[in-house]
Amino acid sequence: MKASKLLMATALTAVTAAGASSASAESLTLCWAAWDPANALVELSKDFEAESGIDMEFEFVPWPNFADRMLNELNSGGKLCDLLIGDSQWIGGAAENGNYVKLNDFFDAEGITMDDFIPATVTGYAEWPKGTPNYWALPAYADVVGWTYRRDWFENADLQAEFKGKYGYDLGVPASLDILKDIAEFFQGREIDGKTVYGAAIYTERGSEGITMGVTNALYNYGFEYQNPDKPYDLEGYVNSEGAVAGLEFYKDLYDAGTPPGSSNWYMGDTIDAYKSGQVALQMNFAFIWPGVNADPNVGGDRTGYFANPPGPAGQFAQLGGQGISVVANTDNMDGALAYIKWFAQGDVQDQWTEMGGASAMSSVVNAPGFAGEQPYNQAFLDSMAIVKDFWAEPSYASLLLPMQELVHGYVIAGQGTAQEALDSLVSEWTEVFEDEGLL
Amino acid sequence: MSGNPIDRVAEATPPTFASRVRGLSDRTIAWLFVGPSIVLLLAVNIFPLIWTINLSFTNFKANRLRDAEYIWFQNYQRILTDTGTWESMQATAHFLFWTIFFQVLIGFALAYLINKKFKGNDMWTTIIVLPMMLSPAVVGNFWTFLYQPQIGLFNYVVEFLTGIEASSFSMIGSVNLAPWSIVIVDTWMWTPFVMLICLAGLRSIPDSIYEAAECDRASKWRQFWTLTIPMVLPFLMLAVLFRGIENFKMFDLVVQLTGGGPGSITTLTSIDLKREAFEKWRTGYASAYAVILFVTVFGLASIYVKALNKVKER
Amino acid sequence: MSGFSVTEPSKRQKWFAGILVITYAMVTLMPLLWIIATGFKSPEDAISYPPKVIFEPSLEGYVNLFTTRTRVTTSMEETLLPPETWYDEIARDSGTVISGPTRYGQRFTNSVIIGFGSTFFSIFFGTLAAYAFSRFRVPIKEDLLFFILSTRMMPPIAVAIPIFLMFRQLGLNDTHLGMILLYTAVNLSLSVWLLKGFIDEIPLEYEEAALIDGYTRFQAFYKVVLPQAATGIASTAIFCLIFAWNEYAFAVLLTSGSAQTAPPFIPTIIGVGGQDWPAVAAGATIFLIPVMIFTILLRKHLLRGITFGAVRK
């Protein structure tokens, strides 16, 4: 009885929701990825609905399909989304193809200034072309790749002693990527609490952007650069520099020596599954999962610690995640969409946003005294946000991502060719894309 | 022609009555009835096909505002000289060959056994048929779960049967196993298809032929090779044709299972085409790719149909 | 006759064949049973390592399939009212609170609308065309029939490129109408070929008698042929429905939110944290069961349907 009621109720709400979104103009559809922060945003937006009288509808798509679905939606001229929290790398294409509304005039009129936001997020989420004051989004969710580790295992005296004996230094938060690899190797195949456990869960996903978001954390720190800093789109010797090759080799070594068998196609959801089910000592993931890990009954609380991506020989960087919120040019409710952004940009809303499980990119929120100590992961988050670097945000971003996914996956997971060959091929593929675009 | 009912009726009725019966002329009714289908197919299949051929000569990109230019055969040249294209063709060929091989082998064996008409064979046939009626995307997605080395069912069954440790291998992750992982799932899904067709073939053989062979004292083994196989062959070839066309088009199952990985090991042509068309948005290039695939599938299928007709005539 | 027959297999052969076939059926059923079982596992049991065959049944997967949940934070805990319903309780047990319905109901509704809509049209047009092909001398009949069949040979992705552009121009992207039109066109080949076979089997004498009785062509078609073809039409309809129900490639490329069907949606069900396998399994189970029932209903016409009428048992 009750089950059928639940079914009926959901079916009815679904039907009415579908009807409402097309019928009344005073509703807004916000599109984003389906993940924890999105659920928090639904809660947060209830205040906006109460204040403005506008109904909020949401369309959330899981990460592996997010880019595919949403870029398809933009390119098909669809009217599904009024507001889109699109991934940072789409901004170039969306700006140049006229998919997003330029927000400069609106910001000026409403007194919203980008100076209030963390500079890295303004560059990463809002600007196109990069480094110029042309804004296509308001930084909405600050995110970055970092690591979680099993503090309970790291603090086990027996394991500490054995580790010291084997490697000659103490087991703890790794001070470099090399040490991280040692630790992963150390835990690989070990018997803990009657279960075989493994070293690290890292990004290896093939289909969307997974392995790229993972491998860049090694590439950057070993000396990979996207282009000649003095000559845009000049790739030779930067993308395939000696350091870049060493970085790629490092990622393969880490994959071969310290990751769970079968972790050949893993992204955010898979690494978190592995970590929560107690399979691994270390987990690479975007910071958005940290509140969830902290609250987990099996691995949460004291059992987990957090740290920023460790440095390599060429410095310390971390892959930027996160998104800005944009108004879709095709919207029928421009005023409502802008009203939402205006509401969202307020300081107290941003405070609440972080508190409810979001991650504000507003400087006043993250620099507030006491923020770092408020949650066990806040310090690692601040450390990580200070060292971010992002993938291409060019209009041809997808054409740049696809060969990178294929070549890196082919080398790291499938073991085809050498790191040098993979990166050389990447240079020629990317050069071809830039030639097609008329940039070279 | 006396086979046409209207003629026969016309012959049997006086002329004035006939014209009343007909109301609209047959020709009109025929076109009225066939018309909507042809119009719909022209609009949704033929017009787009012509458009695709047109686009294949341009450098059009569906996500850009700028206009396309005609670059004629450059797209074709680039596709045919691209190593990626040939790798995906190879992956498709491997997939095609082995799925058909296993499906024919197992499908025929099952049909042969079911044809022994044991008690309850109808019910078990229906159960065996279930997988092929299901949504390949949904099934493919769930198989990624079954293939998980630590938590999936498949590896544990293998461990149980062979003693190879479950977490020591990964079907989807390893370069050597991934092409087989998609063959296994496709075989699981589609063996019943071949089985059903073979069963129809076996049941079409009249008992009298075997009885005659028995009188000639032909051994069972000889009867199998000289009677059963040739009689079933046209059916078997039809099954292969259907499976061949379907698997050449294969997209949903494999894209959900492996996403074309690891690297590009299981990137079948449809997956490659989808990336070019709907991820890189190289619409012109992808159109040329599509045209090449059309030509390939039509060419291969019509050669095969000719061969099939020859076998049927024998 | 109970005498000796050379074609009747011996008892031992039957036993042997039966055991082998039943073994195969069991193996082939295992993945399906695993899907159904996973739907009734708790998320922890579903990803337990090693996998659990025996588990405590839970409805969490089904609750998760239909609801979005928010994690209960410490500040929220004080203001929370006690759970009202059994599904509230299940959500609360896993530390979350239900914040609304998911899109699954809507996607399922879309599948129903598009599936039935396209089936209706492909049967409607298909019956007309099949009747004409069966009863009249249509010029270039063989060519037209082959043309209709050949449309089914093109890879869907290749067809989708121009369809995408065309739909964009016409504003049909992500609409029910667009998907119904498309699936109707794709299914037409199947319905024309199958229905032609069924109508061919209806003896001409019935129509002749009706025509002599003073029926017009239309009346004869409507009142005599259609009722005779009812079984054939019904099974063809089920085949069309199954195709539209299962289709993925067009759906994933041409729909995004408003008209998306269930197949592209189910693989993207995730929960709080990682992929929520019990919810995925629950969604898959609800989605697959109608087709399983249809398969059992259709078993007599199955072969004919899957071979476009090329093989008639």
pLDDT of A232-253, one tens digit each? 999 999 999 999 999 999 999 9
Gap between the Cα atoms of B153 and B158, Å rounded: 9
Query: Domain for residue C26, yes or no?
Result: no
The count of domains in chain C is 1
Nearest to C106 by CA among B18, A22, A111, A173: A22
Q: Are A313 and A185 in contact (CB under 8 A)?
A: no
| Residue from the list B27, B133, B214 with its beta carbon closest to the beta carbon of C6 | B214
Q: What are phi and psi of B147, to 5 degrees?
A: -85, -5
Q: Spell out which residues of chain C touch residue B242, defining contact as CB-CB under 8 Å.
A: 306-307
Gap between the Cα atoms of A440 and A427, Å rounded: 13
Q: What are phi and psi of A194, to 5 degrees?
A: 75, 10
Burial status of residue A234 (CB atoms within 10 A of its CB: 0-12, 13-18, 19 or more): middle
So what's the pLDDT on residue B9? 46
User: pTM, whole model, 2 decimals?
Assistant: 0.84
Residues contacting residue A97 through CB under 8 Å, at least 6 positions apart: A74, A75, A395, B63, B64, B65
Neighbour tally for B73: CB within 10 Å: 11
Q: Spell out which residues of chain C touch residue B206, defining contact as CB-CB under 8 Å.
A: none
State the complex-level ipTM. Answer: 0.88
In sequence order, which ranges of C95-203 are alpha helices (DSSP H)?
104-135, 141-150, 156-170, 176-200
Gap between the Cα atoms of A440 and A240, Å rounded: 18
Domain boundaries, chain A: 26-143+321-389, 145-319+396-436
Query: What residue type is assigned to position A398 of the chain?
Result: A
Gap between the Cα atoms of C50 and B89, Å rounded: 38
Q: Do B264 and A410 touch (CB under 8 A)?
A: yes
DSSP one-letter code for A53:
-
Dihedral angle computed from the Cα positions of residues A388, A389, A393 and A396, in that order, rounded to the nearest 10 degrees: -150
Burial status of residue B225 (CB atoms within 10 A of its CB: 0-12, 13-18, 19 or more): exposed
DSSP one-letter code for A330:
T
Nearest to A81 by CA among A321, A322, A334: A334
User: For residue B1, what is the nearest residue in chain C, using CA coordinates?
Assistant: C137
User: Tens digit of pLDDT for each residue in B212-253?
Assistant: 888 888 888 888 888 889 989 989 998 998 899 999 999 999
Q: Do B151 and C49 touch (CB under 8 A)?
A: yes
- Shortest distance between the Cα of A68 and any Cα of chain B, in A, equals 7
Collapse the DSSP code of C100 into the 3-class scheme (helix H, G, I; strand E, B; otherwise coil) and give the result.
Answer: strand
Structure tokens at C273: 């944290």
Taking CA atoms, B216 is separated from B211, B212, B223, B227, C126, in Å, by: 9, 6, 10, 13, 50
Gap between the Cα atoms of A150 and A133, Å rounded: 43
Q: Which residue, chain included where needed, has tokens 């032609």?
A: C196
So what's the pLDDT on residue C6? 59
The domain in which residue C220 lies consists of 105-266
Q: Do C102 and A29 touch (CB under 8 A)?
A: no
Q: Are B204 and B231 in contact (CB under 8 A)?
A: yes
Write the CATH number for C164.
1.10.3720.10
Domains A26-143+321-389 and A145-319+396-436 belong to one CATH topology: yes
Q: Spell out which residues of chain C touch residue B297, defining contact as CB-CB under 8 Å.
A: 153-155
So what's the pLDDT on residue A1? 37
So what's the pLDDT on residue C273? 52
Dihedral angle computed from the Cα positions of residues B12, B13, B19 and B22, in that order, rounded to the nearest 10 degrees: -50
Average pLDDT per block of 10 residues along chain C, 313 residues long: 60 91 94 93 81 86 85 69 83 80 90 95 94 84 76 85 89 92 91 89 88 85 89 90 92 87 85 73 91 85 79 68
| Residue from the list B31, B52, B273 with its beta carbon closest to the beta carbon of C162 | B52
* Per-residue pLDDT tens digits of chain A, which is 440 residues long: 344 444 444 344 444 444 444 444 588 999 998 887 888 898 899 999 999 999 998 888 878 778 888 888 888 888 889 999 999 889 999 998 889 999 999 999 999 999 999 998 999 999 988 889 999 999 999 999 999 999 999 999 999 999 999 999 999 999 999 999 999 999 999 999 888 899 999 999 888 899 999 999 999 999 999 999 999 999 999 999 999 999 999 999 999 999 998 788 888 888 988 898 888 999 999 999 998 899 888 898 999 999 999 999 999 999 999 999 999 998 989 999 999 999 999 999 999 998 888 899 999 998 888 898 889 999 999 999 999 999 998 888 889 999 999 999 999 998 889 999 999 999 999 999 999 888 88
Q: Do B9 and C128 touch (CB under 8 A)?
A: no
Q: Which residue, chain included where needed, has tokens 């024919």?
A: B104
Q: Which CATH number is associated with domain A26-143+321-389?
A: 3.40.190.10
Q: Do C246 and B238 touch (CB under 8 A)?
A: no
Collapse the DSSP code of A117 into the 3-class scheme (helix H, G, I; strand E, B; otherwise coil) and give the result.
Answer: strand
Range list of β-strands (E), A34-137: 55-61, 83-87
- Shortest distance between the Cα of C204 and any Cα of chain B, in A, equals 6
Gap between the Cα atoms of C64 and A9, Å rounded: 15
Cα angle for residues B195, B197, B200 (degrees, 5° grid): 110
Structure tokens at A107: 């910001």
When scoring B50, B55, B64, B113 by the number of chain C Cβ atoms within 10 A, the one with the most, hence best to mutate, is: B113
Taking CA atoms, A437 is separated from A212, A391, A395, B252, B281, in Å, by: 22, 18, 9, 31, 13
- Shortest distance between the Cα of B70 and any Cα of chain A, in A, equals 14
Query: Domain for residue C126, yes or no?
Result: yes
Dihedral angle computed from the Cα positions of residues B284, B286, B289 and B295, in that order, rounded to the nearest 10 degrees: -80
For chain B, which domains are there? 5-47 (no CATH), 74-313 (1.10.3720.10)
Neighbour tally for A157: CB within 10 Å: 7
Q: Around A283, how many Cα atoms within 13 Å sit in the side-chain half-sphere? A: 31
Q: Which residue, chain included where needed, has tokens 């390592």?
A: C49
So what's the pLDDT on residue A419? 96
- Please list the ranges in chain B whose pLDDT falls under 50: 1-3, 5-6, 9-10, 12-21
Q: Are B292 and B178 in contact (CB under 8 A)?
A: no
Q: Do C62 and A3 touch (CB under 8 A)?
A: yes
User: For residue C265, what is the nearest residue in chain B, using CA coordinates?
Assistant: B138
Q: Do C258 and A10 touch (CB under 8 A)?
A: no
So what's the pLDDT on residue A39? 82
Collapse the DSSP code of A141 into the 3-class scheme (helix H, G, I; strand E, B; otherwise coil) and give the result.
Answer: strand
Q: Do A264 and B275 touch (CB under 8 A)?
A: no
Q: Spell out which residues of chain B touch residue A75, defining contact as CB-CB under 8 Å.
A: 62-63, 281
Residue positions counted in chain A = 440
Range list of β-strands (E), A345-427: 388-389
Q: Spell out which residues of chain B touch residue A256, defining contact as CB-CB under 8 Å.
A: none
Gap between the Cα atoms of A315 and C174, Å rounded: 47
Q: Which CATH number is associated with domain A145-319+396-436?
A: 3.40.190.10
Q: Alpha carbon B271 to chain centroid distance? A: 16
Query: Domain for residue C286, yes or no?
Result: no
So what's the pLDDT on residue A297? 83
Collapse the DSSP code of A85 into the 3-class scheme (helix H, G, I; strand E, B; otherwise coil) and give the result.
Answer: strand
